[in-house]
Amino acid sequence: MSIVEDSQPEPITFKEHIFDFSFHPSNDIVAVGLINGQVQCFNYGIESNQLAWSTQVSKKSCRGVEFTNDGAHLMSISRDKSIQALDVSTGRLLYKIPKAHKYAINKICKLDTHLTATGDDEGIVKIWDMRTCKSIAEYKEHDDFISDMNYCKSSLLVTSGDGLLSIHDTRQLNQKVKLTDEIDDELLSMTIVKDGEKVIAGSQSGALYMWDWNNWNKTTKWIGHPSSVDSICKLDENAICTGASDGLLRFISISPQKFEGILGDHGQDFPIESVKMNHTNYLASCGHDLQLRFWNIQFLFEQNSRKHDLDDLDDHDHWDMPLTKRPKPRGHFFEDL
């Protein structure tokens, strides 16, 4: 049981595994990338969720989707190494870059109106100018898959399975890339908080790692989870939500560093792939239960009721167990097509 209100959209159920989803920047629209290579777009709401369109962008899995800043187009990436752009109103394929990478693309990140970054399974990062559909920069700083990317202060931040965080200044694309010290752990997810002053990454071991901006050589290891942290979503500048392979959505405050409670639960056997928040502070998550679920977390943004409602959040006995005594993470990644 989790602390959510009744006034939230019903879950959207799929027949195929969900790899990623993205919220429209200003409208109640959500796009989903599926393992069968389809991209589907829904109008969601309290009363109903309606499929707007479905487009087959690839014969292989669609691993990522992201709206452009104006919400007019939707970018998608595929295991077949291609990048696609779709019209949000109709789902029509606008253009496709068929061999954007040598290896399967795993992550996509919009930088600004024209620039987009992509990262692949072999650690290669590319920055694209979508006006020409050409790559304007390419980096090989990582030795393992690119797990997450974020954009802040004109810098592209990249995490990888090799335990490194890389920082790319997009104003000087030929400048030497900054790297953190290597961590003996796989970094799987990332977010930026405290008005761009702190970066937090989730890992395969379940630990969270934190860096201060411009002090990349010092890593702080803090709150641990009983299983891998596959997704992190910033709720505000002092709070995050983590999505883990045990199916739980955890609410964590940053100052002080504290586990506050459980915001949602997909079920123990259904690892969470992605957690994101929309423009009206609804939280959503997708997992291996073939559902995109919505969670009403409005109470977190109402100062008068926040403390009272936090006292009612679910707790789990295993949270305070030492990392060495917690259950080992289960292998949960399905083999995408």
Residues 297-321 have pLDDT tens digits of 988 887 544 554 555 555 443 343 3
pLDDT > 90 fraction of the chain, expressed in percent and rounded: 82
pLDDT at residue 268 in the model: 83
pLDDT at residue 329 in the model: 36
Torsion of CA 67, 290, 206, 314, to 10 degrees: 100
CA atoms within 13 A on the CB side of 103: 16
Among candidates 313, 266, 316, which has minimal Cα distance to 290? 266
Residues 254-307 have pLDDT tens digits of 989 999 999 999 998 899 999 999 999 899 999 999 999 999 998 888 754 455
Q: What is the mean pLDDT of residues 216-222?
A: 95
Residues 104-139 have pLDDT tens digits of 999 999 999 999 999 999 999 999 999 999 999 999
Taking the model in full, what pTM does it have? 0.90
pLDDT at residue 274 in the model: 98
Evaluate whether 193 touches 255 at the Cβ level (below 8 Å). Answer: no
Among candidates 101, 119, 234, which has minimal Cα distance to 168? 119
Place of tokens 């399974």: 121
pLDDT at residue 301 in the model: 84
Q: What is the mean pLDDT of residues 223-250?
A: 96
Evaluate whether 63 touches 19 at the Cβ level (below 8 Å). Answer: yes
Evaluate whether 34 touches 288 at the Cβ level (below 8 Å). Answer: no
Indicate whether 211 pLDDT > 70: yes
Indicate whether 335 pLDDT > 90: no
Q: Which amino acid is at 281?
A: N
pLDDT at residue 289 in the model: 96
pLDDT at residue 311 in the model: 52
Reported confidence tier of residue 147, pLDDT bands at 50, 70, 90? very high
Measured over all CA atoms, what is the biggest interatomic distance in the chain, rounded to whole angstroms? Answer: 54
pLDDT at residue 86 in the model: 98
Calculate the average pLDDT of the chain. Answer: 90
Q: How far is CA 177 from CA 100, 155, 204, in A?
A: 22, 10, 24
